[in-house]
Amino acid sequence: MINRVVLIGRLTRDVELRYTQSGTAVGTFSLAVNRQFTNQSGEREADFINAVIWRKAAENFSNFTGKGAMVAIEGRLQTRNYENNQGQRVYVTEVVVDNFSLLESRAESEKRRSQNNSGSSNDGGYSGSDNNNSFSGVDPFANANQSSNNQYSAPKNDVPNPFAASNKTEIDISDDDLPF
């Protein structure tokens, strides 16, 4: 039997990171995923899918993403139930995330954040269109050396380009050298 879920979408809110009594990190969030077709009025609709992520991955996901971030998640579908305070049985279906990928560059993340801070009064409903949304998010790639910010900073890459010519000149490649 197979139970695998792969989704690509935008976070509808910041990840809610909590800790169990034993100290295990757990993050919950909702992902807006566009449908492949449009409705009768020509607008694209979205599904809002709840997800949960555990342990160190939950801490990383919470630190590196924010509301509106484009992400890919992979996991399994899980249904659970519990009895609420009113004595009613509540059923919950959610994706339990095993892996995730950040799908925005630092520049795209900063551009989206600056558009949100430029006086837009729309505070976040996901309309299903990537161009007209107003999301506010945390830049996961901000410099970690800033004293007021404890976020991740990508390491500097000082490795020389292995495809560069040894004498620092351009490589001459003709169309006949290409396999396609």
pTM above 0.85, yes or no: no
Whole-angstrom CA distances from 63 to 6, 42, 49, 57, 79 are 21, 36, 20, 10, 27
Give the C-alpha separation, 153 to 175, whole Å: 40
Give the C-alpha separation, 159 to 56, whole Å: 29
Give the C-alpha separation, 137 to 66, whole Å: 4
Residue type, 10: R
91 — pLDDT class (breaks 50, 70, 90): very high
SS3 64: helix
Give the C-alpha separation, 150 to 56, whole Å: 16
- The contacts of residue 124 (CB under 8 Å, 6+ apart) are 12, 13, 67, 68, 133, 134, 135, 136
Enclosing H/E stretch for 161: none
26 — pLDDT class (breaks 50, 70, 90): very high
pLDDT of residue 127: 34
Res. 113: pLDDT tops 60: yes
Mean pLDDT calculated for residue range 18-27: 92
Walk me through the domains of the chain, giving residue ranges and CATH numbers.
1-180 (2.40.50.140)
pLDDT in tens, 57-74: 999 998 888 888 899 999
